[in-house]
Chain A
Amino acid sequence: MMKFFAMGGYAVYVWPSYALTAVAVILNVLWARSALRTARREALRRLAGARPAATVPYEVRT
């Protein structure tokens, strides 16, 4: 197991590369989801503003 983590002496280059990539992969998912959440919220707010409140069949929350 230690041998695996040592990566034949290249551990200081291999593991940071993997960690960096993992961070980018995770951050991109979080960014994309928050972009969609924001866009949804704003679209609902626009719709609510464009029409009389009584006809809006949903609640707008922030």
Chain B
Amino acid sequence: MAWVWFHRFGSPPHFYRLATRLCPWFGWSALLLCVAGLIGGLGFAPADYQQGDGFRIIYVHAPAAWLSLMVYVVMASSAAVGLIWRMTVAHAVAASCAAIGASFTAVALLTGMLWGRPMWGTYWEWDPRLTSELLLLFLYLGYMGLRNAIDDLGRADRASALLAIVGVVNVPIIHYSVTWWNSLHQAPSVMKFGRPTMPASMLLPLLAMLAGFTCYFVTLLLIRARAEVLRRERSAHWIATALAPPAGSGTGTGTDQSAGSAGGVPA
């Protein structure tokens, strides 16, 4: 049955073990990809014919903006799964997304301002793309505020899930804002069909950065979701076994011989 993996994934002990095991893989991939992207973007990519070296802001701005949207989609869809199937692990994943998404939305906005100043002559303009991205920041902050305002974790999960799901309409608005309206912001140069508008020496470092930031987000998510899963488990027996090896030492980077050999949950 195809549903078996779904239920296994939804089981907190299984999720916790899997997250612990996967974390270093995503972490090291993120580091390698970002180092490669930075070397390529700062060292080898040629200066832009219009923007000179100023265009190099793209190697941090675009990945941050990409995360701001992707994290929201992950947050809203896992919140929906948690709401529909009453799956604790899904709620834990959703709750882990908000702070990460909010911080990278802020980074996208601020690096965008630093890029806009020399290229457009202004830090800020009430432009569709910029305004909808600012709204995304407020959605994240509202989600976090709502969670903080409700003491009961189960109620906080359900109420914030609704907010996250409703807010998802903003995501396509942000993405298509540059094509729907006559925006100051440039049109997408990577994620469009047909031929990319950049030479490979510019594009490859950007793709490496986008992939690296994605792996980095997964790493953060795997750490934070473990914390959220633990918070939701009251007196579950598996916690004793999962945390039995000296807890409080390495969190994300530690190898996982213990998790690997533990296999099933000893009763």
Contact = CB atoms under 8 A, between A and B. Distances in A.
Interface in B93-133: 99-100, 103-104, 106-107, 110-111, 114-115, 117-118
Contact of A36 (B60, B114, B117, B251): B251
B239 A47 contact: yes
Among A20, A25, A37, A47, which residue has the most Cβ atoms of chain B within 10 A? Answer: A25
B234 interface: yes
B61 A17 contact: yes
Contacts of B106: 24
> Interface range on chain A: under 10, 10 to 19, 20 to 34, or 35 or more?
35 or more
A21 B233 CA distance: 34
Given A27-B103, A38-B227, A40-B230, A47 B60 contact: no
A46 B235 contact: yes
B64 interface: yes
B114 A29 contact: no
Among B100, B216, B224, B252, which residue has the most Cβ atoms of chain A within 10 A? Answer: B224
Contacts of B244: 57-58
A52 to B, nearest CB: 13
A52 B243 CA distance: 18
Contacts of B64: 21, 24
A41 B57 CA distance: 40
A59 to B, nearest CB: 9
Interface stretch (B47-55, B144-152, B160-168, B191-199): B47-55
A13 B53 CA distance: 10
Interface residues of B, number: 42
B25 to A, nearest CB: 16
Interface in A17-59: 17-18, 20-21, 24-25, 27-29, 31-33, 35-44, 46-47, 50-51, 56-58
A20 B233 CA distance: 36
A35 B100 CA distance: 13
Contacts of B231: 39, 42-43
Contacts of A24: 64, 103-104, 106-107
A56 to B, nearest CB: 8
Given A13-B114, A27-B103, A39 B61 contact: no
B100 A17 contact: no
Given A16-B114, A24-B103, A42-B230, A32 B247 contact: no
A55 to B, nearest CB: 9
B151 to A, nearest CB: 15
B107 A39 contact: no
Interface of B: 42, 47, 52-54, 56-57, 60-61, 64, 99-100, 103-104, 106-107, 110-111, 114-115, 117-118, 216, 220, 223-224, 226-228, 230-231, 233-235, 239-240, 243-244, 247-248, 251-252
Given A10-B52, A36-B251, A42-B230, 5 more contacts: A10-B53, A28-B100, A33-B251, A36-B226, A36-B252
Interface of A: 4, 7-10, 13-14, 16-18, 20-21, 24-25, 27-29, 31-33, 35-44, 46-47, 50-51, 56-58, 61
